[in-house]
Amino acid sequence: MPQKAPIALIGAGVIGRTHIDRLQQSSRARLCAIADPTEAGRALAGAAGVPCYASHAELLAAQRPAGAIVATPNATHVPVALDFLAAGVPVLVEKPVAGTVDDARRLVEAQSSHGVPVLVGHHRRHNPILQRARQLLDEGRLGRVVAAQAMATFLKPDAYFEATWRRQAGGGPVLINLIHDIDMLCFLLGEVRAVQAFASSATRGFEVEDTAVASLQFASGALGTVMVSDTATAPWCWDFCAGEQPQYPRQAVNSHFIAGTHGSLSLPDLSLWHYAGDRSWHAEMTRSQTAVHAADPYTRQLDHFVDLIEGHATVPLCSAADGLRTLAATLALHDAAVRGATVALG
């Protein structure tokens, strides 16, 4: 029986608890330590039977895990990850990869100079539904993609906003939620070249946006639109309809739509539309559906992280550079909304 890879968790908050749970269920990895300065962190470590350190530096001084999961607040992702990379320890860094594009670039450079694996926690890429969608696109089943739409509409309860940071810039649904949808579009359609956007805080009246829409231009030439609102009574969001998150009741609707010259695809139901005969809007369209096995993306993400650690995989499904591209497009959306201008990405 091969040894389980010892993985340290840095930051034992909301998503940290998901990582603890998946580590405890894993046949290939185990939680070996937690770094978190809070009493709650110590309690979680105690319950899991692993040591707790007040900081990742203390943890690194005491032990050398096979990998580290960085699930701390955004601004700390890169400084923490850099210390692990310098020690030769692979990292799974939660999304967004960094608080700023400059920080994300530092991580990309460090990954390249140390040659130590970095996986970014855009977990939806590990969902078999999204992987099948990518396969259909790669096989050319849609022809050339011309346009895509992603929706993320939901109603957050008032209690969610009791934490001050959730009412302030950077704590809103663009960087917390929509970044996942932008990453999905990047995964499927490639790099974003330019962004136009509007944001509104008119409903909740907080400093941070409650609603935003944007138009994206991809380097491939495809165009996309994205919409997010945390104040809408509406079911169109991946978290509801893909069934990834048991805490949200599941809705039988779609949230993502991709239109190509020879076919189109809705997600997550994986309906593929095309013309079997005449290709014209006067002809009947044919709809086919691919079934995929449901699988927990966080479990698959952890397995992929172990593959990277053990050298069974060499290319991360979401690299630091991928995380940088998604972050840059998401921050450009903010920028475009504030400036009322088109923001071009390098």
User: Footprint of ligand NAD on this chain (CB under 6 A)?
Assistant: 10-16, 35-38, 41, 55-56, 71-74, 76, 94-95, 121, 123
Sign of torsion over alpha carbons 298, 301, 305, 307: positive
Residue with smaller CB distance to ligand NAD, 43 or 219:
43
CB of 329 closer than 8 Å to CB of 335: no
Residue with smaller CB distance to ligand NAD, 22 or 141:
22
The residue number with the shortest CB distance to ligand NAD is 13
Residue with smaller CB distance to ligand NAD, 77 or 132:
77
State the nearest-atom distance from the C-beta of 73 to ligand NAD, in Å: 5
d(CA 21, CA 40): 16
State the nearest-atom distance from the C-beta of 327 to ligand NAD, in Å: 11
Residue with smaller CB distance to ligand NAD, 34 or 308:
34
Residue with smaller CB distance to ligand NAD, 42 or 274:
42
Residue with smaller CB distance to ligand NAD, 120 or 343:
120
Tracing tokens 């840059």 back to the chain, one arrives at 328
State the nearest-atom distance from the C-beta of 124 to ligand NAD, in Å: 8
State the nearest-atom distance from the C-beta of 235 to ligand NAD, in Å: 19
Two structure tokens written together for 237: 């969001």
d(CA 75, CA 95): 11
State the nearest-atom distance from the C-beta of 36 to ligand NAD, in Å: 4
State the nearest-atom distance from the C-beta of 160 to ligand NAD, in Å: 11
State the nearest-atom distance from the C-beta of 95 to ligand NAD, in Å: 5
In terms of C-beta density within 10 A (0-12 exposed, 13-18 middle, 19 or more buried), how is residue 49 classed?
Answer: exposed
d(CA 86, CA 69): 15
d(CA 224, CA 306): 34
End-to-end alpha carbon distance in the chain: 48
Alpha helices in the chain (DSSP H): 14-25, 39-48, 56-62, 77-86, 101-114, 128-138, 173, 179-189, 238-241, 297-310, 320-339
Instruction: Quote the Cα angle for 252-253-259, to 5°.
Output: 145
Residue with smaller CB distance to ligand NAD, 11 or 117:
11
d(CA 311, CA 308): 5
CB of 320 closer than 8 Å to CB of 104: yes
State the nearest-atom distance from the C-beta of 85 to ligand NAD, in Å: 16
| Residue 309 bridge partners (DSSP) | none
By residue count, the chain amounts to 346
State the nearest-atom distance from the C-beta of 14 to ligand NAD, in Å: 4
Residue with smaller CB distance to ligand NAD, 9 or 192:
9
Residue with smaller CB distance to ligand NAD, 12 or 189:
12
What's the one-letter identity of residue 57? A
